[in-house]
Amino acid sequence: MAISQGQHVEKKPIFETTKGKQKKVGKTMPSVFGHVGLSLVLPVLLILLWEGVTRFQIVETHLLPAPTVIVETIADWAVDGSLWQHGGITLYRIFWGFIWGSLAAVALGSLVGMSNKAETMFDPLIQAFRAIPSLAWVPLFILWLGIGEPSKVTLISVGVFFPVYLNVVGGIQSVDRKLIEVGKAYGLSSFQLVRRIILPASMPSFLVGLRSGLGLGWMFVVAAELMGASQGLGYLLILGQNTLQPEVILASIVLFAILGKITDYGLKKIQSRVLHWQDRIDSSKG
Amino acid sequence: MSIEVSNVSRRFKGETAVNNVSFQAEKGEIVGLLGTSGCGKSTILRAIAGLDNGYEGTISVNGNPKRGTSKELGVIFQEPRLMPWLTVVDNVCFGLAGTKAENQIKAKKLLKVVGLEGFENYYPKQLSGGMAQRTAIARALVTEPDTLLLDEPFSALDAFTKLQLQDMVLDLWDSYQPTMIIVTHDIDEALSLCDRVVILKGQPGELYKNVQLNQPKPRSKADPELAKIKEEILYSLGLSRNTNEKIAKEA
């Protein structure tokens, strides 16, 4: 009774505003909820469908476990501590791989971007290495660095390196010549030009590189852990396969998705904070 | 003598763009470099500014021959060329060397002069074309250069903003009388701002004529004397309709 009254009271003004010159324009909260709600419709429907077909035995549950089973698996891991152990080691690997890969890419990329000589010297070689599918390095890294952490971190940093490198070089080379001229007109030295114009101007491209580097990093951490690891989310994939536990595989896939999303979200936040000055379409969309 | 350009030529890949141009600008004088497009006006200005050092001949600033940029020169480009990652006030401070606090005070003072008070913390993306160009003018003035080089500074602006900014430049000139060299293809602009107009013509560009304007500023756009000079300039550039008609009749 109360609910239906509430609905009635709410409906009335809406009907009036559509009739007479929309009064409520600046109300952002409902539209945000509407946005999130709309984007949730499809996933929720799919999960319900999935749960339905497994609950009623339409598909075989030993091949496709129900979403609730997957959630239970993750919850169990959280309780017995293996979630933190496996997730932690995976994060550790990707963190160091990302750091080393980006550092190397920034160092080489800025050298190649700034100097024509360095470009003719290094770039062809780097491009040639880029043509090698990075996973082809795995046997060699294992041979050289053993089966422990160094070979995995190295593989991940190779994956992170290329997108960051390409974007750093591209970013530096596409800095507006006109802005550099302003700096020159004020008599800035080469070092000052780099610090005050080239660095901030190439920041957008650099951050795009970091984000795609991180994406590749997640791809490579899976590859590294699939091939000879005794810990990590990638190891759980193999474990699930060998012990015929699809819920283990799916649970670690879900964890990969969640962690990948969170880390990318973090970088995206940094990106929009650092680049708040950028004149972009989505900044005017509101 | 503030600026002296003597026998300056510039070739681009064997092709001559500017041929043997000489002119001077006295201290406090406003000189217009006028010509049709492609006659090398901007090339000469870039040479004076020190942004292009591939020319032949000599350019002296305050009696000292130089190549390369100089603190005595301020440049205002056709586009505002603001750093998009800096706020308006930080953009104005861009060329200043002193401490941050001092610079901010100077910049704010100048922003008030160019009519941008209250916009100090805006970013370039939030500015209109005219506001951005005012910021660029403030950036050039804040270092108090004794010569200002303006490369078609108002050509990208709408007609009203253009008139406003031309008046503003004249006011600024009144307050500290810098030497100014203005590259323009707008005869009205040259006639309302300049003490002398240097006309370049042809391809490669050569110096064609010096037109002295002694009328006191601010000048009325409807001054019949100026209208006559305008007609003469148009005629000499081969752009006057009367002359074209005359030629058509004769043919």
CATH, residue A163: 1.10.3720.10
> In the predicted model, is pLDDT for residue A45 greater than 90?
yes
- Order the strands of the B147-151 sheet from edge to edge: B73-76, B147-151, B179-184, B30-34, B196-201, B206-212
Strands B30-34 and B15-25: unpaired
How high is the pLDDT of residue A151? Answer: 92
Decide: B195 and B178 in contact? Cβ < 8 Å: no
Which pLDDT tens digit goes with each residue over A59-77? Answer: 888 889 999 999 999 999 9
- Give the span between the Cα atoms of A156 and A135, in whole angstroms: 10
Higher-confidence position of A228 and B247: A228
Token readout for A153 is: 């971190």
The band of A286, judged by pLDDT with boundaries at 50, 70 and 90, is very low
Asked if residue B94 and residue B60 are part of one domain, the reply reads: no
Out of B102, B117, B144, a domain closes at B144
- A186/B77 CB distance under 8 A: no
> For every one of its 251 residues, what pLDDT tens digit does chain B have, with 9 covering 90 and above?
689 998 899 988 888 888 888 999 999 999 999 988 888 888 999 999 999 888 999 999 888 888 888 888 899 999 999 999 999 999 999 988 889 999 999 999 989 988 899 999 999 999 999 999 999 999 998 988 989 999 999 988 888 889 889 988 888 888 888 999 999 988 889 998 999 999 988 888 888 888 888 888 778 878 888 888 888 888 888 776 665 565 555 55
How high is the pLDDT of residue A100? Answer: 97
- Give the span between the Cα atoms of A202 and A226, in whole angstroms: 36
- A185/B83 CB distance under 8 A: no
How high is the pLDDT of residue A57? Answer: 85
Backbone angles phi, psi at B50, to 5 degrees: 90, 10
Interface list for B 81-120 with A (CB within 8 A): 81, 83-86, 94-95
Could you give the number of structural domains in chain A?
1
How high is the pLDDT of residue B149? Answer: 94
Q: Which residue has the tokens 């000079």?
A: B229
Asked if B23 is an interface residue toward chain A (Cβ–Cβ < 8 A), one would say no
A182: nearest Cα among B193, B28, B230, B49: B49
Asked if B202 is an interface residue toward chain A (Cβ–Cβ < 8 A), one would say no
> In the predicted model, is pLDDT for residue A7 greater than 50?
no
Domain that holds residue A197: 67-281
- Give the span between the Cα atoms of B132 and B82, in whole angstroms: 7
Q: Is residue A142 packed enough to be buried (19+ CB in 10 Å), middle (13-18) or exposed (0-12)?
A: middle
Decide: B62 and B26 in contact? Cβ < 8 Å: no
CA distance A185 to chain B (A): 6
Q: Is residue B251 part of a domain?
A: no
- A181/B125 CB distance under 8 A: no
Q: Is residue B232 part of a domain?
A: no
How high is the pLDDT of residue B215? Answer: 84
- Give the span between the Cα atoms of A8 and A19, in whole angstroms: 17
B204: cis peptide before it, omega within 30°? yes
- Give the span between the Cα atoms of B196 and B212, in whole angstroms: 4
Q: Is residue B51 part of a domain?
A: yes
In our burial notation (b when 16+ CB lie closer than 10 A, e otherwise), range A23-47 reads eeeeeeeeeeeeeeeeeeeeeeeee
- A185/B51 CB distance under 8 A: yes
A-B contacts (CB, under 8 Å):
49
Residues in chain A closer than 8 A to B69 (CB atoms): 184-187
From the list A179, A184, A200, the residue facing B69 with the nearest CB is A184
Higher-confidence position of A6 and B70: B70
Q: Is residue A4 part of a domain?
A: no
Asked if A260 is an interface residue toward chain B (Cβ–Cβ < 8 A), one would say no
Asked if residue B107 and residue B159 are part of one domain, the reply reads: no
Asked if residue B94 and residue B67 are part of one domain, the reply reads: no
Asked if A279 is an interface residue toward chain B (Cβ–Cβ < 8 A), one would say yes
Residues in chain A closer than 8 A to B92 (CB atoms): none
Asked if residue B115 and residue B67 are part of one domain, the reply reads: no
Out of B127, B144, B161, a domain closes at B144
Decide: B191 and B219 in contact? Cβ < 8 Å: yes
CA distance A172 to chain B (A): 15
Asked if B73 is an interface residue toward chain A (Cβ–Cβ < 8 A), one would say yes
How high is the pLDDT of residue A25? Answer: 47
Work out the percent of chain A whose per-residue pLDDT is above 90. 65
Could you give the number of structural domains in chain B?
2
A122: nearest Cα among A99, A104, A97, A138: A104
ipTM of this complex prediction, to 2 decimal places? 0.86
How high is the pLDDT of residue A5? Answer: 41
- Give the span between the Cα atoms of B216 and B129, in whole angstroms: 30
The band of A226, judged by pLDDT with boundaries at 50, 70 and 90, is confident
Q: What is the mean pLDDT of chain A?
A: 86
From the list A186, A187, A277, the residue facing B85 with the nearest CB is A277
Q: Radius of gyration of chain A from Cα atoms?
A: 26
Which pLDDT tens digit goes with each residue over A99-144? Answer: 999 999 999 999 999 889 999 999 999 999 999 988 888 889 989 9
- Give the span between the Cα atoms of B141 and A230, in whole angstroms: 67
B-interface mutation test, from A182, A273, A281, A284, most B Cβ less than 10 A away: A182
Asked if residue B132 and residue B51 are part of one domain, the reply reads: no
- A187/B69 CB distance under 8 A: yes
Non-local (6+) Cβ contacts of B71 within 8 A are: A187, B143, B145
Domain that holds residue B188: 3-72+145-220
From the list A178, A185, A196, the residue facing B69 with the nearest CB is A185
How high is the pLDDT of residue A21? Answer: 43
> What's the one-letter identity of residue A115?
S
Which pLDDT tens digit goes with each residue over A148-161? Answer: 899 999 999 999 99
Asked if B71 is an interface residue toward chain A (Cβ–Cβ < 8 A), one would say yes
Q: Is residue A38 part of a domain?
A: no
- A277/B123 CB distance under 8 A: yes
- Give the span between the Cα atoms of A103 and A99, in whole angstroms: 6
Q: Is residue B246 part of a domain?
A: no
Asked if residue B43 and residue B154 are part of one domain, the reply reads: yes
Asked if residue B134 and residue B197 are part of one domain, the reply reads: no
- A185/B73 CB distance under 8 A: yes
Give CA separation, A260 vs A158, A219, A221, A265, B189, in Å: 18, 10, 11, 8, 59
From the list A186, A279, A283, the residue facing B95 with the nearest CB is A186
Backbone angles phi, psi at B232, to 5 degrees: -60, -45
- B81/A178 CB distance under 8 A: yes
Asked if residue B17 and residue B102 are part of one domain, the reply reads: no
CA distance A170 to chain B (A): 19
Residues in chain A closer than 8 A to B53 (CB atoms): none
Interface list for A 145-204 with B (CB within 8 A): 178-179, 181-182, 184-187, 196-197, 200-201, 203
Decide: A51 and A68 in contact? Cβ < 8 Å: yes
Asked if residue B102 and residue B55 are part of one domain, the reply reads: no
Q: Is residue B244 part of a domain?
A: no
Asked if residue B92 and residue B114 are part of one domain, the reply reads: yes
State mean pLDDT over A73-94: 94
Give A135's DSSP letter. G
Strand pairing partners for B34?
Answer: B184, B199
Asked if A133 is an interface residue toward chain B (Cβ–Cβ < 8 A), one would say no
Query: How far is the first Cα of chain A from the last one, in angstroms, to the nearest whole number?
Result: 38
Asked if A277 is an interface residue toward chain B (Cβ–Cβ < 8 A), one would say yes
- B51/A184 CB distance under 8 A: yes
Token readout for A162 is: 């290329």
SS (H, E, C) chain B: CCEEEEEEEEEECCEEEEEEEEEEECCCCEEEEECCCCCCHHHHHHHHHCCCCCCEEEEEECCEECCCCCCCEEEECCCCCCCCCCCHHHHHHHHCCCCHHHHHHHHHHHHHHCCCCCCCCCCHHHCCHHHHHHHHHHHHHCCCCCEEEEECCCCCCCHHHHHHHHHHHHHHHHHHCCEEEEEECCHHHHHHHCCEEEEEECCCEEEEEEEECCCCCCCCCCCHHHHHHHHHHHHHCCCCHHHHHHHHHHC
